[in-house]
């Protein structure tokens, strides 16, 4: 991955052919998510939209005459904060109705209100974490297992990969091996203890990912990974859960 170039709020880095990563380096690392921008022939793709503390749309270099498809991998706060800024919004069918309201209890925005050192730099002099809210962002299209997001020169298959959240989806280019994983899997400590997490479902997801023939994985957090590293992450999670289940 190229060097992260940090601006007033967002950082950007080139990670793969036609793919730019954006992140929010001044946000607490617990909710510092990756935002992925991919240029396609007939349409561009944006995967997840960060916290929405500062406007994201001005940071996205748009391609003239092409639509920008924006996909939310799940409805948690660090992935949907700026979703309302973009008209062509897509997200999981399982939680589609909840995008209409973005209730704090669903997005976990309430966790950010009381997070110590929520930001290391104020985005505005009077900004307060306690005032943080996510605007409603009704979906233009709800996505489920097997659907295809078509950019013209490449097609992404939608995979439903629950566990971290019940609605978690990922996008997989079966021809190229590029895998936008969301929070289903990433190179870091996987979160499986949220109120809507399901560890049994997460184990099934990890079993499925052991055999997914990716070239490069781009997760919701952490660095990119190859197929061997993904198998290591998935296997380590399964071993950890097996040890827990077998403990007296």
Domains of the chain: 5-242 (3.60.15.10)
pLDDT at 176: 95
pLDDT at 64: 85
pLDDT at 169: 98
Q: Which of 147, 219, 221, 155 has its CA nearest to residue 181? A: 219
Mean pLDDT, to the nearest integer, of 123-138? 96
pLDDT at 140: 98
- pLDDT surpasses 60 at 248: no
Determine what percent of the chain is predicted with pLDDT higher than 70. Answer: 98
Q: Within 13 Å and on the Cβ side, how many CA atoms surround 129?
A: 18
Q: Which two tokens stand for residue 140?
A: 């233009």
Which of the four pLDDT bands, split at 50, 70 and 90, describes residue 79? very high
Which of the four pLDDT bands, split at 50, 70 and 90, describes residue 187? very high
pLDDT at 1: 67
pLDDT at 68: 98
Q: Are 90 and 138 in contact (CB under 8 A)?
A: no
pLDDT at 246: 61
Determine what percent of the chain is predicted with pLDDT higher than 90. Answer: 91
- pLDDT surpasses 80 at 2: no
Taking only the tens place, the pLDDT of each residue in 11-47 is: 999 987 789 999 999 999 999 999 999 999 999 999 9
48 or 248: which carries more pLDDT confidence? 48
Q: Are 244 and 21 in contact (CB under 8 A)?
A: no
Q: Which of 173, 171, 147, 149 has its CA nearest to residue 161? A: 171
**Mean confidence (pLDDT) of the chain:** 95
Q: Which of 90, 181, 177, 86 has its CA nearest to residue 135? A: 86
Which of the four pLDDT bands, split at 50, 70 and 90, describes residue 53? very high
Alpha-carbon gap, residue 49 to 47, rounded angstroms: 7
Choose the weakest-confidence range: 45-54, 61-70, 167-176.
Answer: 61-70
Task: For 166-214, list the strands marked E by DSSP.
Answer: 169-172, 178-182
pLDDT at 247: 52
Question: What is the four-CA torsion angle of 121, 9, 137, 188, rounded to 10 degrees?
Answer: -80
- Which residues sit opposite 45 in a β-bridge? 38, 69
- pLDDT surpasses 80 at 244: no
pTM: 0.96
Q: Are 188 and 167 in contact (CB under 8 A)?
A: no
Task: For the chain, list the strands marked E by DSSP.
Answer: 5-6, 11-16, 19-23, 35-38, 44-47, 68-71, 89-92, 141-143, 148-150, 155-160, 169-172, 178-182, 216-219
pLDDT at 232: 98
Query: CA-based angle 136:63:96, to the nearest 5?
Result: 25
The full DSSP string for 141-170 is EEE-TT-EEE-SS-EEEEEE--SSSTT-EE
Alpha-carbon gap, residue 128 to 51, rounded angstroms: 14
- pLDDT surpasses 60 at 201: yes
């Amino acid at each position: 991955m190229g060097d992260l170039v940090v601006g007033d709020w967002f950082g950007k880095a080139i990670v793969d052919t036609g793919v730019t990563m954006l992140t929010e380096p001044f946000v607490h690392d617990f909710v510092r998510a990756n935002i992925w921008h991919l240029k396609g022939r007939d349409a561009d793709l944006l995967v997840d939209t960060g916290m929405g503390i500062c406007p994201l749309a001005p940071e996205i270099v748009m391609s003239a005459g092409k639509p920008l498809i924006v996909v939310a991998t799940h409805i948690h706060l660090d992935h949907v904060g700026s979703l309302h800024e973009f008209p062509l919004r897509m997200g999981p069918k399982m939680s589609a109705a909840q995008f209409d309201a973005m209730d704090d209890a669903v997005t976990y925005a309430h966790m950010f209100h009381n997070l110590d050192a929520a930001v290391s730099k104020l985005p505005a002099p009077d900004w307060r974490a306690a005032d943080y809210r996510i605007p409603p962002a009704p979906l233009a299209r709800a996505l489920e297992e097997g659907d295809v997001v078509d950019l013209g020169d490449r097609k992404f298959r939608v995979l439903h990969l629950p566990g971290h959240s019940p609605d978690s989806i990922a996008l997989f280019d079966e021809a190229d091996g590029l895998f936008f994983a969301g929070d289903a899997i990433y190179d870091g400590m996987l979160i499986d203890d949220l109120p809507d997490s399901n560890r049994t479902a997460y184990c099934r997801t990890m079993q499925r990912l052991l055999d997914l023939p990716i070239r490069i994985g781009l997760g919701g957090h952490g660095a990119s990974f190859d197929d061997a590293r993904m198998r290591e992450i998935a296997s380590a999670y399964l071993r950890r859960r097996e040890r827990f289940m077998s403990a007296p």
